[in-house]
Structure 1
Amino acid sequence: MKKTWLAIETATEACSVAISDGQNLWQDVVVAPNRHSDLLLPMIDGLLAHAGLQLAQIDAFACGVGPGGFTAVRLGISTIQGLAIASGQSIYPVSSLQALAVAAPGEPTLVAFDARKGEVYAAAFRSDDAGIPELIGAERVCRPEDLVWPPTPGPWRGLGTGWNQYAQHWSAVRCWRADAYPQAAQVLQIARRRATAGDPGVPPEALEPHYIRPSQAEEGK
């Protein structure tokens, strides 16, 4: 098992970096919309210094790959690719929706990010025995009124910025938190579990964003 990890998550308003050496976990999180490009590299350098590590000591990388803001997701992808290429290591891509679901271990969770244009990025998860969220159905982008939530009876928890604007469409869900963002430590937790199960990750050049919705450039083709 690879022991020393660096993970980043940039898909939403929160920019975060996490490092783990197998015994300790360090994380830096800043909620600063539209400032990720200014913050990310200094946060990485600062956290490496705080952990007393050099980039060459990182054994594996993980990255939240979206969905989320296109520019923010691309920034995370390109940054982690550069770091992994420089150190010759693989990358573990993690859904940003799944990452946030880690914040509610053991609870069925409905994650929704504000996707603009009157839509949400949305997915439902249940945790496995190790507390890792497993996707129910598919991740999607849609109008909030098109989601039939909760998908099954029971005590579901809502998480994510989509609940701030659209909770009225899912009134059967009584417990939700809109000021929750996916974080790098959650990305790292999922990636490390996959590595333990034998997943080798992907080469840096194979890492792709998980937009769900086509970007404006793709829509223009």
Structure 2
Amino acid sequence: MSTKILALDTATENCSVALLVDEKVYVRSEVAPRDHTKKVLPMVDEVLKEAGLTLTDLDALAFGRGPGSFTGVRIGIGIAQGLAFGADLPMIGISTLEAMAQGVYRQHGESQVACAIDARMSEVYWGRFSRQEDGTWAQTDAECVTPPQTAADNSQADESTWFTAGTGWDAYSEQLEGIKFATEKSKVLFPDAEDIVQLAKFELAKGNTVDAEDASPVYLRDTVAWKKLPGRE
């Protein structure tokens, strides 16, 4: 049976779209932190035209559900929902952290990945993932938002080398120096739809889809404490 999944992600500075048609993947990706709304739909049109398909030919629409930039995650899910509604497609939300782990496997062939996205406010979106024999990923450290120093302090030593992924490693290099396991730097800084679509294939096979109206983001940071201006307490 043919599998056709469209994936898009705008959760970080990277804007990306990928279309999986059986084993062939059509991709578009560009680091464009302020132009997601301008670039993502043309990218969708391009990959569909390249494959000779329309939205109604697809089996599902996958999206980066976060964590990431609040605005970026909202843009991605909003556009994905609009496309899914129009074509009556089920949706699949994929962790941006897990997508980066998949990216490390795609680029380096490594199966143990420590992910840290710069979450601003002196925190990182953190998670560690181990690739399983069936191609899925298990969480060694559950996804969370945490100060990088806390991630280092709470890390557990083991004999493995973990490849790093994400902008958090460079943004908080000093705080993460105390990590208790060996690390090696990868090329992966951002999630990419090319990896999201591969993870979505497993979820679709399991029937793990939602209706468009039920698709939801994962911010990890549920509340943001803003300092009040003087006189406005």
| TM superposition score normalised by structure 1 | 0.91
Quick check: 203-212 or 141-150, which moved more?
141-150
**Is this contact kept in 2: 1:161–1:178, CA < 8 A?**
no
Structure 1 gap ranges (5+):
none
The alpha-carbon deviation at position 28 of structure 1 amounts to: 0.3
**Is this contact kept in 2: 1:90–1:200, CA < 8 A?**
no
Structure 2 gap ranges (5+):
229-233
> Percent identity, aligned pairs only?
34
**Is this contact kept in 2: 1:163–1:178, CA < 8 A?**
no
* 1:163 alignment partner in structure 2: 169
* 2:5 alignment partner in structure 1: 5
Which of these residues, 156, 176, 180, is aligned with residue 185 of structure 2? Answer: 176
* 2:119 alignment partner in structure 1: 115
| Cα deviation code 1:112-135 (max 9, x no counterpart) | 000011110000111110332211
| Cα deviation code 1:157-181 (max 9, x no counterpart) | 1110101111333335441236521
Hey, what's the Cα distance between the residues in 1 that align with 2:227 and 2:186? 32
The residue identity in structure 2 corresponding to 1:201 is T
Which of these residues, 194, 197, 201, is aligned with residue 188 of structure 1? Answer: 197
- Equivalent positions of 1:97-116 (< 5 A) are 97-105=97-105, 106-116=110-120
Residues 151 and 125 (structure 1), Cα distance of their counterparts in 2 relative to 1, 3 Å cut: farther
The alpha-carbon deviation at position 219 of structure 1 amounts to: 11
Say which SS state the counterpart of residue 50 (structure 1) adopts.
Answer: helix
Residues 87 and 140 (structure 1), Cα distance of their counterparts in 2 relative to 1, 3 Å cut: same
Larger gyration radius, structure 1 or structure 2: 2
Which of these residues, 130, 137, 151, is aligned with residue 133 of structure 1? Answer: 137
1:202 equivalent in alignment to 2:210: yes
**Is this contact kept in 1: 2:102–2:195, CA < 8 A?**
yes
Hey, what's the Cα distance between the residues in 1 that align with 2:111 and 2:21? 28
- Equivalent positions of 1:23-172 (< 5 A) are 23-105=23-105, 106-148=110-152, 150-153=155-158, 154-171=160-177, 172=179
1:214 equivalent in alignment to 2:222: yes
Quick check: 47-56 or 89-98, which moved more?
47-56
The alpha-carbon deviation at position 58 of structure 1 amounts to: 1.3
Residues 219 and 159 (structure 1), Cα distance of their counterparts in 2 relative to 1, 3 Å cut: same
| TM superposition score normalised by structure 2 | 0.87
